[in-house]
Amino acid sequence: MINNQYFHSHIACNVTGTNNLFSKVRQYRNNIFHSSSMELEESEANSYIDDMIAVLQDGKELLQQPDAQIAVNKLQDLKKKDFIVTTEGFEDILGQIKDEMSKVLKSTENAATKEEYEDLKSKLSEGKVETEKLENKLANLEKQISEEKKGQLEAEKEHADLKKKFTILETIMEEQKQEIKRLKEEDSPQQKQLEFQKAKSGCCSQLIEHYRSDVLKVSAIPLQPDEENYSFSDIYIKPTITSKIEKSRGESEEKEIKTMSEIFTKNGEPQKFIYVVGDAGSGKSSFCKYLINCWCMAHSDGHNEDDEFEGVKEMKKFDFMFYISLRHNIKIRSIQEMLEMRYDKIKKFK
């Protein structure tokens, strides 16, 4: 229509130049036919389709042509839903192209000038080349579809095999569930005690790992905490610790404590509450970490060495030790809540 003046009187669009709607659609056609990937982004494809529909709805004659409007409906469907390309569709298109080319050739042989006729003949020759290219693409598509069908059959077979194996696996799992349920119902007190000890040991190990990585690694220079950290036991020096003994008439006496046992027991009885009092910087926090270090050594394999204060020996009496910094629990008064916030594992073990 663009290159043959015979058609110009049958369309409303001015097709001179390259910026008209018909020229744009011709360029879209070239882009599609010459694409190496045969792919379009959805937004680009929709733009192409909108302009193609506008060409087919040209107001002079095409808008009243039933075939043109059928094509418009197909293009609109293409925008609304998924479009499956089949070899049958290509064969129909090729047949239609050949028929239309033949009709155009016959209708223009008498109406057009010789020059126009030769020009149209040249264009039809180019169309034949493009048709051959399309036929080659059709052959490649048929081959691709054949390979995809073969792959689909193999995938369906594999899916059936997997489904069969999955059914067998489900049966085995159900049998195992029933067996586990039976074993749980038959658990003896000894088995439950064994599980308790295992859980207890695991909790202990986690506490030791936490203390050694987060609490017992300290800087040798307090004012430079970013310097290299050392193991607590390598730099700790025990301060002098005394116990305050109340006497009559409000008097009291201080006695130096020689062993850890003197802190935790009195007259052979364990003490429930113990308070360590001292000036700022006298070593109270460091002494708490010393207790933690002794407890970790007491409950670690191969770490039974002790000092003259016998801290490791005393800490063996305690299954667990929990270190709570009160400055981080200002609004909480319950020790149980402090423990649950700081050590979430205790919720499962209490």
| Of 92-101, 264-273, 291-300, the least confident | 92-101
Reference 32, options 48, 17, 50; nearest CA is: 48
Q: Quick one: average pLDDT of 183-211?
A: 80
Greater confidence (348 vs 154) lies with 154
Q: Where are the domains of the chain?
A: 5-151, 206-319
Return d(Cα 1, Cα 65) in angstroms, integer.
Answer: 16
- What residues form DSSP beta bridges with 269? 266
At 224 the pLDDT is 55
Give percent of the chain with pLDDT exceeding 90: 11
- CA atoms within a 13 Å half-sphere pointing along the CA-CB vector of 158: 6
Residue 173's identity, in one-letter code, is M
CA distance 294 to 313: 8
Backbone phi, psi, residue 270, to 5°: -70, 145
Phi-psi region of 249 (alpha: psi -120 to 50; beta: other; left: phi over 0): left
Q: What is the pLDDT of residue 85?
A: 57
Would you call 270 helix, strand, or coil by DSSP?
strand
Q: What percentage of the chain reaches a pLDDT higher than 70?
A: 84
pLDDT at 337: 85
Mean pLDDT (whole number) for 179-206:
78
Helices 87-109 and 114-185 pack at an angle, to 10 degrees, of 170
Output the CA–CA distances (angstroms, integers) from residue 222 to 226, 235, 238, in the order listed: 9, 12, 17
Mean pLDDT of 154-168: 87
Residues present in the chain in total: 350
pLDDT in tens, 116-156: 667 767 777 777 777 888 888 888 888 888 888 888 888 88
Q: Say if residue 179's pLDDT is above 70.
A: yes
Helix (H, G, I), strand (E, B) or coil at 164: helix
Number of helices (H) and strands (E) in the chain: give both, helices first.
13, 6
Read off the pLDDT of residues 290-347 as tens digits, 9 standing for 90 and up. Answer: 999 999 989 888 666 777 888 899 999 999 999 888 887 788 888 888 888 877 755 5
How far is Cα 210 from Cα 346, in angstroms, rounded to an integer? 14
183: how many CB neighbours lie within 10 A of its CB? 10
DSSP string, 14-54: ---SSSSHHHHHHHHHHHHHT-SS----HHHHHHHHHHHHH
Predicted TM-score (pTM) above 0.85: no
Q: How confident is residue 226, by pLDDT bands cut at 50, 70 and 90?
A: low
pLDDT at 99: 78
Least confident of 39-53, 64-78, 244-258, 271-285: 244-258
Averaged pLDDT, 19-35: 90
Quickly state the pLDDT bin for 70 (edges 50, 70, 90).
Answer: very high
Res 227: pLDDT? 55
Instruction: Among 72-86, 149-163, 179-193, name the most confident range.
Output: 149-163
Handedness of CA 187, 188, 190, 192 (dihedral sign): positive
Q: Which helix (H) or strand (E) holds 249?
A: none
